[in-house]
Structure 1
Amino acid sequence: MRNIIGEEHRKVNLQAIRQLWEERVGCDVELEAEGRIFHAHRVILSAGSDYFRAMFSSGMKETHQTSVSLLLMGAPELEALLHCCYSGDLFLDWGCIFELTSTALQFQFQPALSLCLNYLEQQMDVHSCLDIAAFAEAYMLSDLLETAEDFVLMHFQEVMATPKFLELPAEKLVDLLRRDGLCVPSELAAFRAVVAWIEADPAQRLSQAQEVMTGVRFPLMTFREFREVRAVNLQMECSGDDDVYLYRTALREFGFGDSSPVVQHRIRYPRDVLVVVGGDQLNPDEGQRLPSKQLWFANSLRSGTGLVKDMEWRILGEMPEQARFRHGISILDRKLYVAGGCYYYSKADTMKSVYRYDPLTNSWERLSDMQEHRSNFTMVVRGDSLYAIGGDRDISTNLDSVEKYSVETDTWSFTHSLDQPLSGHAAVVWGGEIFISGGFNLKYQCLVSTFLYHPEQGTTYLADMAHDRAQHCMESLAKRFYVAGGVCNLREFYTDQLSCESYDPISDTWTAFTPLPLCHVGAASAVLEGKLYVLGGYSQEDYSEARLVHRYDPGTQRWENMGKMAGPVTDIRACLLHLPAHLRRSDGQKGL
């Protein structure tokens, strides 16, 4: 209660100070910029700007002046920054963001600068990222530069289609192409980017072809891909340009003419890693299924020859107590929560225990048990609480109950029940609301329903999916929910569901997107670097394991094969977790 009262008191004080400023009560200095006069309080300016604090407190001549002329500041920027000092708000858009950021940096308005930098990071897209990178480099904003360049590397194929890409200096383009973290479907995309860049100004850029082509890793191309390289080269020869020799030389020198036996893959290390928790797998030697206590993580993403992708898997550790599958996991305050699930396959093997993993200390903590035994359920984070929704009590009974976990009190309490028992469903939190799709009903029939669940008010039904499904994946990405995998009731018996669809929560409509190339029932999913990952699972047709990882890119609307998983693949759960550097550097925990 004391914190709430303190926050409210600060808001009241700030409003009073702003009112005094607007009414010019107590203003003791005039600031002039571009012929406009602004009234202010020295103490407020000093609190919001290191520049003005030094001006008014260091004995400079302005210390005692009642009017100060600011020759290097524009009037619109001064007005916006003063408004920020008195209100804590800053109205930002792309028309003013760079001017405001440079002014806040120059005159050391730290609160305003933080708001500007946050805006640039959060609103960054394929059309603005190159401008942001150039701006950050010019003003030596190292953190922003790193973020912007990493964004360019992540979304390179989309960025190369923008007009700004064609304006890049040769040295910057080479720098980007030489980065291991460059994300391209294959090396042919990098080559096409170079060709587009050269053809934007061939008179000037053909002479730079040899240098720029050094960034393309031609040995990673297949012979089929290299036919396109040869075709482009022949086209350039037919153009009759005197400089084409240099272009052809670049292809020969840095392409298949390279005698080096070692071909460097592109290896990307995401800031957050994909972590796979628990699950089970078939032991082919013993002919039985083995539940797992293991946590695996994808330390790096690798691009090889052609479209070949792979993920470097490492073991993070093991869960305490028993192995578990069909469990629930969530991330809250950068800590992993694991709850419920099954430890084996009989009716009494459902669990209600809960643990929390802290990657900073690499340690586990036992928390209070859930009220119900649950498996095949969802657990999500809403606000500062966890919600365990539905699930199976045992192998033949599913639940309509929902429990809320309070981190502060370490207690579980029941909230409003679902309209009907539900298991094998999927859920996401968007805009502070919980959205649930599909699942099994009381008779274990697959559902098409989508609804919004509110802990106090219950269920509000939304537009149905086009296809019924259960034991599927649903993730929130770019203001849409993407649904993939699972089983359906297409025939008398359960059948693999390959169709995929996405939901727009604004218009309450579903739209089909590219079907999965292979079945993924009981798979895990996560969104990493703006792409949807579907990991593992099995086929309902013959119960064979689906060991592959598939990645969907909303930009290209295609699924990519990202290689095989190393650990358990069935009834697993996945999340993103930020791991300390020493856990990622450890060579002793490498997987297969």
Structure 2
Amino acid sequence: MFTLGMRESSQSSVYLQFLSAPELEALLHCSYTGSISLTWNSIFETTSTALQLQNQPALGLCFSFLQQEINPHSCLDVASFAEAFGIIKLLDHAEDYILRQFQKVARTPKFKDLPARTLFKYLNSFSLCVPSELVVFRAVVDWIQAKPKRRLKLAKELMKTIHFPLMTFKEFKEVQALKLWSNHSLQELYEAIFDDFCSNEIETQTKCRIYLPKESLVLSGGDQISEDLGTRSISKDLWFGNSLRNHMGIKKAMEWRRLGEMPQPARFSHEVAVIQGQLYLLGGKKYYGTGDTLNSFFRYDPLENTWEELRSMQQARSSFSVVVFESKLFAIGGKCHPDYIETVEQYCPTANSWSFCCSLDLPLGGHVARVFAGQIFVSGGLNDDYDCLSSMFSYDPDKGSTYLENMTRPRALHCMEAMGDFLYVAGGLSQTDSASIVDMLACEMYNPKEDSWTCFSPLPVPHVGAGSAVLEGKFYVLGGYSQEDYSDTKMVHRYDPAAQLWENMGKMPGPNNDLKACVLSLPEHLRLCPE
């Protein structure tokens, strides 16, 4: 018998520690009472030995190390190792990383040593994520020029994986400047590429690079105004973003597909959350009257494509916020007509029960709560006098609120999401010194370590009452409306923190006001054959 323990050092090295295991001693080449550090210099040898001995505890730690510590310089080695030993799960993880981080991986020296068949597999994958076709072109050229005598014969087939019509004129100038074209044998290939880039054919103009993300944006409910501005309609539809598409120039778009319907009734100003891959839907309003606020609560299982009704909240809520914190779900504040409320209640999934916890300091609605760095942060909102607030505070279910540095402007019905080291705040409405309500285009991000705010690129159009989510390191703001002219915003914008700019991702698929968005893993049969 033996035991294994794992701890992580400041250098992120994983240690195996054991008591009395001759087999494990042989595996790890050390004494019974010692410990060794699993580093990139030893991990593959250690893992292969553990595979030969079928030592499952050691294998588990080795696989955990490989998955947690993978980086652009090591991922190709991990994929090659996993393929050689038939470790399917590890291979999927490594290749998923390569395809998502292709731009960084292609800059590493090991990329130039890829076998041709592996390179073609990555370039032709629908999961290849690149910001532009120039990234693919540079990767192909670097790979060819590493061993030109052997690889020039593959240039024609490799160039077919690049969608040249999607390049801007500035990007294509780099293609034209390539010294490789001075090779006489490539003149015909260059002319074909130039013709492809300049083509005005309809088929060429509709070209796009389709990227299938690992997870999907899922939209639920919401309402919208009719074209004649005379009526509003409420939705019970669910939509999901099946793919991301880079079109010609800088144009981008999302392909939306209908996922199905939420349980009755249709609703808006509700909330959603995801726990262990399942979607939780709660509260909101079913119409615009005084008794239309809901406390109902449902759970959606994407694997079974089924809904289950759960224990209702103790208090009906709309324009509230929900977070998942310490394995529980918290419904924070909101509005129960005619008043905003300060109550907070928590849901325990194992007991299927709700209980009240420490209330907010004041009634609050139209705010946003998010979990970040082990704390619940709450920004902005409207108080009982319908004043916009600039407050930012951390909320503890047992101790209540601790106020932090205010936002630079009051804000409500906005979006807030955590990315990297910051909380990003965008959209919503604000209030001037003369008490006028205006659209809020300015955006800012909060640094919890310094308790400070910094502005970032403003939104191009108003997004009041929009949905938001973070998908693969980008901040999506979906739909909403303009408070100033009451027009619907039927667009999706996403913020790329690396490029520090907002991208237009095309039109919304359905109702766009007071909807909710989340990120959910959907099984292949739903992605390919939605209802």
Q: In structure 2, how many angstroms separate the alpha carbons of the residues matched to 1:309 and 1:80?
A: 58
2:516 is equivalent to residue 577 of structure 1: no
Supply the AA of the counterpart residue of 2:366: G
2:507 is equivalent to residue 568 of structure 1: no
Q: In structure 1, how many angstroms separate the alpha carbons of the residues matched to 2:286 and 2:397?
A: 29
Residue matched to 2:474 = 531
TM-superposed deviation, 1:341 = 0.8
1:503-559 deviation line (CA, Å, top 9, x unaligned): 333343333333223221111111222222211111222121111112222333332
TM-superposed deviation, 1:345 = 1.7
TM-superposed deviation, 1:281 = 1.0
**Structure 1 residues 456, 91: CA separation in 2 closer, same or farther (over 3 Å shift)?**
farther
The TM-score normalised by the length of structure 1 is 0.78
Say which of 360, 363, 367 aligns to 1:418. Answer: 360
Alpha carbons 2:2, 2:19 under 8 Å: kept: no
Residue matched to 2:192 = 253
Alpha carbons 1:187, 1:306 under 8 Å: kept: no
Say which of 188, 194, 197 aligns to 2:134. Answer: 188
Q: In structure 2, how many angstroms separate the alpha carbons of the residues matched to 1:292 and 1:415?
A: 32
Structure 2 SS opposite 1:193: helix
Structure 2 SS opposite 1:256: helix
TM-superposed deviation, 1:115 = 2.3
Structure 1 SS opposite 2:313: coil
Supply the AA of the counterpart residue of 2:29: L
Aligned pairs for 1:447-486 within 5 A = 447-486=389-428
1:20-76 deviation line (CA, Å, top 9, x unaligned): xxxxxxxxxxxxxxxxxx98346xx4xxx7xxxxxxxxxxxxxxxxxx9x5xx6xxx
Indicate the structure (1 or 2) with the bigger Cα radius of gyration: 1
Alpha carbons 2:2, 2:21 under 8 Å: kept: no
Residue matched to 2:29 = 78
**Structure 1 residues 39, 483: CA separation in 2 closer, same or farther (over 3 Å shift)?**
closer
Alpha carbons 2:493, 2:503 under 8 Å: kept: yes
| Larger mean Cα displacement after TM superposition, 258-267 or 476-485 | 258-267
TM-superposed deviation, 1:168 = 4.3
Supply the AA of the counterpart residue of 1:245: H
2:341 is equivalent to residue 399 of structure 1: yes
Q: In structure 2, how many angstroms separate the alpha carbons of the residues matched to 1:445 and 1:286?
A: 27
Alpha carbons 2:330, 2:346 under 8 Å: kept: yes
**Structure 1 residues 118, 495: CA separation in 2 closer, same or farther (over 3 Å shift)?**
farther
Supply the AA of the counterpart residue of 2:362: Q
Alpha carbons 2:466, 2:479 under 8 Å: kept: yes
| Larger mean Cα displacement after TM superposition, 251-260 or 525-534 | 251-260
Q: Any stretches of 5+ residues in structure 2 without a counterpart?
A: 6-17
Aligned pairs for 1:137-216 within 5 A = 137-166=83-112, 168-197=114-143, 209-216=155-162
Structure 1 SS opposite 2:65: helix
Supply the AA of the counterpart residue of 2:230: G
Aligned pairs for 1:422-441 within 5 A = 422-441=364-383
Q: In structure 2, how many angstroms separate the alpha carbons of the residues matched to 1:81 and 1:450?
A: 53
Aligned pairs for 1:548-559 within 5 A = 548-559=491-502
Say which of 431, 449, 455 aligns to 1:489. Answer: 431
Aligned pairs for 1:227-376 within 5 A = 227-230=173-176, 232-233=177-178, 244-254=183-193, 256-257=195-196, 262-263=203-204, 265-284=208-227, 287-376=230-319
2:465 is equivalent to residue 522 of structure 1: yes
Residue matched to 1:64 = none
**Structure 1 residues 101, 505: CA separation in 2 closer, same or farther (over 3 Å shift)?**
farther
Structure 1 SS opposite 2:82: helix
Q: Any stretches of 5+ residues in structure 1 without a counterpart?
A: 1-12, 19-37, 50-67, 85-89
**Structure 1 residues 509, 292: CA separation in 2 closer, same or farther (over 3 Å shift)?**
same
Matched residues, percent identical? 49
Say which of 291, 308, 321 aligns to 1:378. Answer: 321
Supply the AA of the counterpart residue of 1:564: K
Alpha carbons 1:496, 1:541 under 8 Å: kept: yes
TM-superposed deviation, 1:463 = 2.9
Residue matched to 2:62 = 116
TM-superposed deviation, 1:83 = 6.7
| Larger mean Cα displacement after TM superposition, 478-487 or 192-201 | 192-201
TM-superposed deviation, 1:490 = 4.0
Q: In structure 2, how many angstroms separate the alpha carbons of the residues matched to 1:375 and 1:474?
A: 18
**Structure 1 residues 318, 514: CA separation in 2 closer, same or farther (over 3 Å shift)?**
same
Supply the AA of the counterpart residue of 1:386: L
Q: In structure 1, how many angstroms separate the alpha carbons of the residues matched to 2:279 and 2:446?
A: 27
Supply the AA of the counterpart residue of 2:208: H
Supply the AA of the counterpart residue of 1:176: Y
Alpha carbons 2:20, 2:32 under 8 Å: kept: no
- Structure with more of its chain in helix, by fraction: 1
**Structure 1 residues 524, 481: CA separation in 2 closer, same or farther (over 3 Å shift)?**
same
Residue matched to 2:14 = none
Alpha carbons 1:378, 1:389 under 8 Å: kept: yes
**Structure 1 residues 551, 39: CA separation in 2 closer, same or farther (over 3 Å shift)?**
closer
**Structure 1 residues 328, 202: CA separation in 2 closer, same or farther (over 3 Å shift)?**
same
TM-superposed deviation, 1:474 = 1.5
**Structure 1 residues 292, 145: CA separation in 2 closer, same or farther (over 3 Å shift)?**
same
Residue matched to 1:61 = none
Alpha carbons 1:81, 1:112 under 8 Å: kept: no
TM-superposed deviation, 1:301 = 1.9
Alpha carbons 2:492, 2:505 under 8 Å: kept: yes
Supply the AA of the counterpart residue of 1:366: E
TM-superposed deviation, 1:182 = 1.9
Supply the AA of the counterpart residue of 2:215: D
Structure 2 SS opposite 1:250: helix
**Structure 1 residues 392, 149: CA separation in 2 closer, same or farther (over 3 Å shift)?**
same
Q: In structure 2, how many angstroms separate the alpha carbons of the residues matched to 1:153 and 1:81?
A: 41
Alpha carbons 2:318, 2:334 under 8 Å: kept: yes
2:385 is equivalent to residue 443 of structure 1: yes
**Structure 1 residues 80, 368: CA separation in 2 closer, same or farther (over 3 Å shift)?**
farther
Supply the AA of the counterpart residue of 1:256: D
1:160-182 deviation line (CA, Å, top 9, x unaligned): 44454455455544432222322
Structure 1 SS opposite 2:29: helix
Alpha carbons 2:443, 2:458 under 8 Å: kept: yes
Supply the AA of the counterpart residue of 1:269: L
Alpha carbons 1:380, 1:386 under 8 Å: kept: yes
**Structure 1 residues 249, 145: CA separation in 2 closer, same or farther (over 3 Å shift)?**
farther
Q: How many residues align?
A: 514
Cα RMSD between the aligned structures? 3.2
